[in-house]
Structure formats: structure tokens, C-alpha cells
Amino acid sequence: MYPEQTTSPFQSLLRLVLLVIGFTFLSQVIGILILFFYYKFTGQAFSMATLMQGSANEMRFLLLLSSLGSFVVPAYLMNTREGYGITYFKQEYTPQAKQLAYIFFAMLAFMPLMSLIGHWNESLQLPDNMRSVQVWMERSERESGDLIEGIIVETSFVGFLFNLIVLALIPAVGEELLFRGVLQNIVGRWVSNPHVVIWIVAIVFSAIHLQFFGFIPRMLLGAFFGYLYLWSRNIWLPIFGHFVNNAGATIMAFYYTKNGKSYAEINAFEVQSWWIYVGGFIFTAIFVFLFYLSTQKGNHGERLEEN
């Protein structure tokens, strides 16, 4: 899957890190400047404190720029400007409808178990000698939660559509292009075992979100997307899986908000019967296996060429 290239993986990784840092900073500066002039134009007093407590649309705007700057633009530039014969975004055949269905139903079936794992992850406590780290993690989690709450607690249909774009579509495209398309390729030129590569990238993918009480379920999702890319050799399939995950959460939040539930109630964990978790795991395994089988043959029945 990871052919030899004429540039070293270290050079590629350094270039990727510099692009991510540079465009993340640039996107934030551009966003703040645009809102500064917007505030001045509308006669509002501007300050960073006011900005951090801005409207949902302002937060969506900043989050959109952040996703573009941190993920989409660096991934695009790595694919088009790095050169050296490197092609990051594989699309070796057209995805089949049944493959999209397998991904969709696998994600759906795994939801109860993912919720259980997330609840267990939230309950983890660091040792007493790492109390300062625990406090920092909790503060980071609250800040992330406050940002998401201001965006996702939405009752208007237009706001819901904006959320689908900002919280589901753009992150799905940008993060998969960057992590599975670019980073998985770079690490794969260092490490020969594709399973090790997938889990390394999944760990980085989860850690970079700085939401530690959801680290394990996000890592599992990252590994799942990595295997989708490894088996299918088509970047659009992990993008679809990522979109299904994010869009599902966005749709559920909109539905519950319309029905009067608070953000805390939306995120409250409810224990299900044991058979739901077992059944969800079994059906997830079935759909993942069916997807794997579907990738072993091309559209005309020939086995796909191994990399």
C-alpha cells in the first residue's frame, strides 16, 4: 500500500507539521480579523472575551475556518505540491452502493457499544500524583464542550444545515484527507506493518482533538476509518464513514433539542440491556466483514492488485 518514494518520510512529516501549524494559525488570524471588521461595521464593541462568547454563527464561522486551515488546506497542498511522485489520495475504483451500505449499517450497529465505551472512558481517573494533568484535561474538556454546546443546541432548520456542513461534512473530508490520506501514507513509509500504521495514526487522530474523555472511542473510530482505507484503497469510503458518524450525532442533537432536551440531557448516558451491546457488536462484525469481502474484488470480478 505504501510504495517507496524519492523523498524521506521525515521530510514529508516535517512539511505536513509545518503546514498544519502555519495554516491553523493563519486561519485563526483571518477569522478574528473578519469578525473584528464585522463588529466595527455593525457598531459592536470588539474584544477577545466578546468573541469567545459570540453567537452560534460566529462560532460556526471560526470552526469552519479552523477545519479548512488545519486539515483541508495542508492535505491539499501535500497532495499537489510535495511532488516526488507521491499520490496521497487513492481512488483505485468507484465505490459500490453496497459498500456504502455496509459502512452505514456497521456505524449504526456499533453506536450502543461506542456509547458504553465512551461512558467508561469518561469515568477514568489519573493517579493522585497526576492530579494537575487531570485538572487540565477536565478544563480542556469543558471548554470544548462549551464551544460545541453553543453550536449544536440548534432548533432552526437553517442552523441545522449549517451544523451538518461545519460539524460533519468539512471535518469528515478534511480529517480523512489529512490523517488517512496523508499521515497514514507517511507513517506507512516508516513502518512496514499496516496494522501498526493504522493504530499509530488512530492514536494521533484522537489525541489531536484534545478531548481526552472521549479518547478511546475516537481512537477506535480512527482505526476503523484506517482499515476502510487500507482495504478499499479509496479515500472516499473513510470520508463517508466519518460523515455518517458526525452527521448522526448532529441529527440526534437537533432532534432532541427540538424536543426540548438540554445539552446535558442529550449527552447523558443510559445503560442498555446487555443483549443490545452483544447484538450490536455481532452485527458490526458482520457488516465490517462483508465490507472487507467486497473490497477483495474489483468491479468486474478480478482481484484488486496488491500494493
Report yes or no on 300 lying in a domain. no
- Quick check: helix, strand or coil at residue 91? strand
Q: How many helices and strands in the chain, by DSSP H and E?
A: 14, 0
- State the pLDDT at residue 123: 80
58-79: average pLDDT: 92
Report yes or no on 155 lying in a domain. yes
- State the pLDDT at residue 13: 93
CA distances from 135 to 45, 80, 132, 144 (A): 33, 42, 5, 14
* Whether pLDDT at 101 is above 90: yes
Percent of all residues in the chain with a pLDDT value above 90, rounded to a whole number: 53
Residues 29, 269: Cα–Cα separation, whole Å: 38
Q: Where are the alpha helices (DSSP H) in 123-166?
A: 131-152, 157-163
Q: Please, what is the end-to-end C-alpha distance for the chain in angstroms?
A: 4
Contacts of 14 (CB under 8 A, 6+ apart): none
Report yes or no on 181 lying in a domain. yes
Q: By residue range, what is the domain housing residue 85?
A: 9-295
Report yes or no on 1 lying in a domain. no
Contacts of 161 (CB under 8 A, 6+ apart): none
pTM: 0.88
* Whether pLDDT at 27 is above 80: yes
Residues 218, 211: Cα–Cα separation, whole Å: 9
Report yes or no on 266 lying in a domain. yes
29-37: average pLDDT: 90
Residue 257: what residue type? T
**Structural domains counted in the chain:** 1
Report yes or no on 172 lying in a domain. yes
- Quick check: helix, strand or coil at residue 131? helix
Quick one: DSSP state of residue 155? -
Report yes or no on 244 lying in a domain. yes
Residue 246: what residue type? N
More confident of the two residues 259 and 303: 259
